[in-house]
Amino acid sequence: MVATKAHKPSLISRYEKVIGIMIKYGFADVVTHPPFSRFFPKWKRLVPKHDGQPVTEFTRYERMRMVCEELGTTFIKFAQIASNRPDLLPEELIEELEKFQDQARTVPTENIRKTLELELGEKLKISFEDIDYQPIASASMAQVHRATLLGGQQVVLKVQRPGIADTVALDIRILKSLARLLEHRFPQFDAYQPMELVKMFETSIQKELDFTLEAANIRRFGEQFKGNPDIYIPTVYPEFSTEKLLCMEYIDGLKCTNLPALGEIGMTGPELALKGINLYFEQVFDHGFFHADPHPGNIFVLPDKRVCFIDYGMMGTVMEGDRELLADLLLAVHDRDVDGLKTALLRFSWDASKIDLASLEYDIGEFFQNYSNIGLAEIDSNEVMAALNSLFFDYKIRVPSNLLLLLKALVIIEGVGLMLDPKYNIIENIHPFVVRLLRRKYSPAKLSKKMSKTLGGLTKLAASLPEDMEDIIGKMKQGKLHIEFEHKGLGPLDNALDVASKRISFAVVLGSLILGSSLLVIADVPPHIKNVPALGVFGFVIAGVFGLRWLVSIWKQGKF
C-alpha cells in the first residue's frame, strides 16, 4: 500500500490566518506593517471579540495567550518555551503563557497507519503482533499508541503528527518576520528581545521534532543511573525508531500522585517525595543532565517501588561551572546572604556593567527581609523563584537558557513533592546536595588540579613572552605595528551627519532643477504647452513632487 503525501500548508494562507487572528484579538497595529500589510486589507472587517466579549476587556497578555492558543501547535510550543525566560518576559505574561495545556485532537487512524508504513516499511508486518490505533495520549507534536511486538513485549509508539514539520517550518518564518517587525517598528518590545526568543525556540523545537535525539537521551539517562536500585529506565528499540517514530518499552506503573494506590504497594507520599526528588537532585548536581519536564504525568512508580521517568523529549544540560554557580545562588538563598546572592546574580549575567549595583543590593536586602520572620519550613519556594525571576527581569540580568530551564524544573518538581508531602521543603532538602557540590569544588584534589592548570598556563606564557616581545619590537621598528580601536557613542552623530548630508545634496539637486526649469521658461524653449515651454513645466512638476516628498518625510520622521 502506497501512502499519499501529506498536503503542505501554503505560506500565504498561513500568513492570512496569523493576521486574521492577530486582528481578532486587537493587534491590528502590528499587522499593518510589512510583510503582513500585503495581506491586511481583506481582514479589516473582522470583529475583535472572544467568546462574545470585546477583546478590550482582556489584558494585552491575556490576548497574547489567546492568539497563540488559536494559532495552534507551533505558537503554543513557542509560548511554552518563551515562558522559561523570566529574564526577558514580565511575570504577568509568563503566568499567562504557563496556562497552556499540551493537548490536541487525535489524528485519524488512517493517517497514523500511513505514517507507520512509511517509517517502518516491511518491519510493520513482520515485527508487530498488534497495534492499538486508539491513542493513550495525544499532544501537539505527537500521538502515543500501545503495541505488541512478536514475542509478546508490550511497547508504546510515539508517532509524530503528519505534516507538523512543514507547519512548524512555515510558522518559524512568520515568527521571524514578526520578531523583526517588533524590533524595528515597536521599540517598546526591545526589552523582550523577540528575535532571540524565536531563535531559542527554533533550536528547541527542531530537537523535539527529531525522535532519534529522544532515544539517545533515554540511553544516556540509563547509563548515568546504571546500578541505581531506586530508578528504572525504559528500554528503547532503535530498530523501530526513526526521526518521526519512537518505539520504547511500555511502563505499567502507578502515577506518582496516586496516593491510595501507592499505599497498596507499601509506599507513603513523604517516602516517595524524598526518593524522587533526591533522584532529581542527583541528575542535576551529580550528572549535569536532567529531565526538564518533571510534571506528575511524566513520573511513575513501579510495583517494586522504583521510580520511572518518561518522555525524554525535553532534557537539560548543566556544565560543572554552571552547577557550581547555581549552588552558590541556592546556598546564598538558604543562608539569606545578601552579598553572596548579589555576587551570584552578577555572575549569572552576561553583561553586569549596566546594572545598578546599589539598587540591586537594596532589593536583595528587601527580598530577604520578607522572609526574616518566617521559618525555613514555611517558605514557599514558588514565591522565592518568582522573586528571583523579578530580579532577573527588572535588572535585565541575562541568564543562560539552560539554567533558567533548570530553575523552572525545580519549581515543577517541588510542586510534585508538595502533592506527596505537604510539609516538603525543597530549599532544606537541596542544601546537602549544594554543600556536597561545593565541597567537591574546593576539595584539595580539585584545587590542586586547578592550580596545576594555572601554573601550566603561566609557564607557557612565560616561555612565549620573549619571542612575542621581540616580534612586537621588530614590527615597531619596521613601522608595521597597527593598533585597532573602536569609537563608541558616535552612532547618533554619524546618523545626524548622514541625514544632514543627504538633505543638503537633495536641496542642491532640487534648487538646480527649479533654476534650470526657470531658465527654460525664460528662454522660451520649444515645444510649448499652451504657450509655455513644456520642458520647463515638466521640470517644475518634478521639482514640486520631490519637494513635497521631502517635506512630508521631514514632518513624519524628522529624517530623509
Q: Are the C-beta atoms of residues 14 and 174 closer than 8 Å to each other?
A: yes
Question: What are residue 316's DSSP bridge partners?
Answer: 290
Question: C-alpha grid cell for residue 283?
Answer: 541528575
> CA 476, CA 470: separation in Å to the nearest integer?
10
> CA 88, CA 200: separation in Å to the nearest integer?
12
Please state the rounded mean pLDDT for residues 334-359.
77
Tell me what pLDDT residue 154 has.
96
What value does the mean pLDDT of the chain take?
78
**pLDDT higher at 27 or 338:** 338
3-state helix, strand and coil shares in percent for the chain, rounded to the nearest 5: 65, 10, 30
Task: Calculate the alpha carbon distances from 288 to 142, 230, 285, 394 in Å.
Answer: 27, 19, 6, 29
Give residue-wise pLDDT tens across range 450-468: 677 777 777 777 777 787 7
Question: C-alpha grid cell for residue 61?
Answer: 497578555
pLDDT grade, residue 484 (50/70/90)?
Answer: low
- The residue written with cell numbers 551570584 in the block is 344
Tell me what pLDDT residue 190 has.
66
**pLDDT higher at 263 or 434:** 263
Tell me what pLDDT residue 191 has.
60
Please state the rounded mean pLDDT for residues 113-122.
94
Please state the rounded mean pLDDT for residues 18-26.
69
CB environment 294-333: b (16+ within 10 A), e (fewer): bbeebbbbeeeebbbbbbbbbbbebeeebbbbbbbbbbbb
Provide the CB-side half-sphere exposure for 334 (13 A, CA): 17
pLDDT grade, residue 374 (50/70/90)?
Answer: low
Tell me what pLDDT residue 4 has.
43
pLDDT grade, residue 46 (50/70/90)?
Answer: very low
**pLDDT higher at 364 or 459:** 364
Tell me what pLDDT residue 5 has.
47
In the predicted structure, residue 114 carries a pLDDT above the cut 90: yes
Cα 104–chain centre separation = 21
Give the three-state DSSP class for 231. strand
156 φ, ψ (degrees, to nearest 5): -120, 145
Q: State yes or no: cis peptide before 260, omega within 30 of 0.
A: no
pLDDT grade, residue 490 (50/70/90)?
Answer: low
- The residue written with cell numbers 609557564 in the block is 459
pLDDT grade, residue 184 (50/70/90)?
Answer: confident
> CA 48, CA 55: separation in Å to the nearest integer?
6
Locate the DSSP E strands across 390-525.
Answer: none
Please state the rounded mean pLDDT for residues 173-187.
81
pLDDT grade, residue 238 (50/70/90)?
Answer: very high
Residue 396 gets the label, from left (phi > 0), alpha (psi -120 to 50) or beta, of left
In the predicted structure, residue 151 carries a pLDDT above the cut 80: yes
Q: Which of 154-163, 200-209, 281-290 has the lowest mean pLDDT?
A: 200-209
List of residues 6+ apart from 4 with CB closer than 8 A: 114
Range with the largest mean pLDDT of 176-190, 235-249, 432-446, 467-481: 235-249
Tell me what pLDDT residue 486 has.
62
Tell me what pLDDT residue 127 has.
93
What is the percent of the chain with per-residue pLDDT over 90, rounded to a whole number?
A: 22
Give residue-wise pLDDT tens across range 387-441: 777 777 777 777 777 777 787 787 778 788 888 888 877 777 777 777 777 776 6
In the predicted structure, residue 167 carries a pLDDT above the cut 70: yes
> CA 277, CA 487: separation in Å to the nearest integer?
52
Please state the rounded mean pLDDT for residues 244-267.
94
Q: Are the C-beta atoms of residues 25 and 66 closer than 8 Å to each other?
A: yes
DSSP state of 249: E
Tell me what pLDDT residue 299 has.
92
In the predicted structure, residue 55 carries a pLDDT above the cut 70: no
438 φ, ψ (degrees, to nearest 5): -70, -30
Count other C-beta atoms under 10 Å from residue 367's C-beta: 18
